[in-house]
């Protein structure tokens, strides 16, 4: 069906050109308007809602969202590698997944010419194949009413008193595995320590939820008391009235950058570049910090002092926030996904 639609759009484009040349009336505006849409592949939920509210108006484009999980999105881009016209103009992914796509030569280069706002991005976030949108780090989140003394390590997840009260977001399986591995002497260059510790956590009857929003609902209902989640989300849930606290564990935390890229066979590249540039607009970055708690990735985002202190990290904390070692982790991605699905999550 997808291939048929692509051929049909190609035919309609050719037909409209012939009609114009012959002096006949052009095809309807609705057909041509479809060609000007920008297809943005992203997660659903709060993030998509905020993209629609904040970024779409800045871009000035007509946006259609292709919603799904990151694995499916990356798989689709790989499957369409040899197609003349891909099904996405913009792909939004976590840093490690975007790096993986770049290794396959699947992304257009990002330059100051096609995305001028990249000039304002912090150097540590620049890649050459993607734009950095928002930044945060994974922390230990807990219910203050159920756990009055904050745990200082995610090793608490195997304590019998928390049996059945620890939860995870399914879509964060990579970050979850790295994060729990830090509590088991691991680092962000390997999933091994994390997989071993997840096996121990599984003995304590943890729960896995399909989305970040589902984790929030479980915390609200009291079904779970502890999770690992982006600091930005924890702030958002606090603002929604949940009795939550969060700590950056003594063994450290895992950094994350959410990025945007343009597949090489995107059909509307001008619109895609406009959208990526809008994602780095300083006003939009401030709005994301206010609404979702993520730190900006551009220097010219003028955050009020109180908001900057809220969404950022202290110098002391930053020493314990570790970036992904994407080069070493890429080869292990399929292994950790298989472990997560078949060994850790199976039967829950």
Confidence of residue 20 (pLDDT cuts 50, 70, 90): very low
Q: pLDDT, tens digit, for every residue of 21-64?
A: 333 333 333 433 356 899 999 999 889 999 999 999 999 999 99
Looking at residues 294-320, what average pLDDT do you find? 90
Do residue 103 and residue 245 come from a single domain? no
More confident residue, 245 or 30: 245
Do residue 171 and residue 77 come from a single domain? no
Do residue 327 and residue 187 come from a single domain? yes
Question: Tokens in use for 267?
Answer: 């059909």
Do residue 104 and residue 50 come from a single domain? yes
Using only C-alpha atoms, the chain has a radius of gyration, in whole angstroms, of 22
- What pLDDT is recorded for position 68? 92
HSE toward the beta carbon, residue 229, CA cutoff 13 A? 33
Looking at residues 283-307, what average pLDDT do you find? 94
CATH number of the domain enclosing 273? 3.40.190.10
Q: Is the pLDDT of residue 252 over 60?
A: yes
Question: Tokens in use for 108?
Answer: 């257009």
Give the number of other Cβ atoms within 10 Å of residue 152's Cβ. 13
Do residue 14 and residue 85 come from a single domain? yes
Range of 119's domain? 2-135+256-311
Q: Is the pLDDT of residue 96 over 60?
A: yes
C-alpha–C-alpha distance, residues 168 and 219, integer Å: 11
Positive or negative, the CA dihedral 150, 218, 292, 71 is positive
Do residue 278 and residue 335 come from a single domain? no
- The pTM assigned to this predicted structure is 0.76
Lowest mean pLDDT segment, chosen from 24-28, 230-234, 303-307, 338-342:
24-28
Do residue 196 and residue 267 come from a single domain? no
Do residue 268 and residue 224 come from a single domain? no
C-alpha–C-alpha distance, residues 216 and 151, integer Å: 19
Do residue 247 and residue 336 come from a single domain? yes
- What pLDDT is recorded for position 318? 83
Confidence of residue 313 (pLDDT cuts 50, 70, 90): confident
Mean pLDDT of the chain: 89
Do residue 61 and residue 188 come from a single domain? no
C-alpha–C-alpha distance, residues 81 and 71, integer Å: 16
Number of structural domains the chain divides into: 2
Do residue 113 and residue 81 come from a single domain? yes
Do residue 26 and residue 88 come from a single domain? yes
Confidence of residue 227 (pLDDT cuts 50, 70, 90): very high
């Amino acid at each position: 069906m997808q291939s048929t639609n692509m051929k049909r759009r190609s035919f309609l484009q050719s037909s409209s050109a012939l009609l114009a040349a012959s002096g006949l009336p052009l095809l309807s505006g609705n057909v041509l308007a479809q060609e000007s849409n920008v297809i943005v592949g992203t997660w659903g939920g709060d993030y998509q809602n905020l993209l629609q509210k904040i970024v779409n108006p800045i871009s000035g484009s007509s946006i259609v969202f292709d919603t799904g999980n990151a694995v499916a999105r990356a798989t689709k881009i790989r499957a369409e590698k040899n197609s003349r016209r891909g099904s996405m103009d913009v792909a939004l992914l976590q840093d490690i997944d975007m790096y993986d796509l770049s290794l396959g030569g699947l992304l257009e280069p990002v330059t100051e010419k096609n995305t001028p706002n990249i000039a304002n991005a912090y150097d540590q976030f620049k890649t050459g194949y993607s734009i950095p949108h928002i930044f945060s780090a994974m922390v230990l989140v807990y219910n203050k009413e159920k756990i009055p003394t904050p745990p200082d390590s995610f090793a608490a997840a195997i304590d019998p008193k928390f049996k059945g009260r620890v939860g995870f977001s399914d879509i964060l399986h990579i970050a979850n595995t790295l994060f729990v591995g830090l509590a088991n002497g691991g680092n962000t260059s390997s999933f091994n320590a994390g997989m071993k510790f997840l096996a121990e956590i599984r003995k304590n009857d943890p729960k896995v939820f399909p989305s970040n929003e589902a984790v929030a609902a479980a915390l609200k209902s009291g079904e779970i008391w502890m999770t690992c989640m982006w600091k930005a989300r924890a702030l958002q849930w606090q603002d929604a009235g949940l009795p939550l606290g969060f700590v950056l564990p003594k063994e450290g935390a895992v950094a994350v950058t959410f990025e945007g890229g343009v597949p090489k066979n995107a059909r509307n590249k001008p619109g895609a570049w406009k959208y990526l540039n809008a994602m780095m607009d300083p006003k939009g970055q401030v709005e994301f910090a206010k609404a979702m708690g993520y730190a900006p990735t551009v220097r010219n985002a003028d955050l009020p002092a109180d908001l900057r202190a809220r969404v950022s990290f202290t110098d002391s904390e930053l020493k314990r926030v570790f970036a992904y070692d994407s080069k070493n982790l890429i080869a292990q991605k399929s292994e950790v996904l298989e472990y997560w699905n078949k060994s850790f999550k199976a039967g829950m």
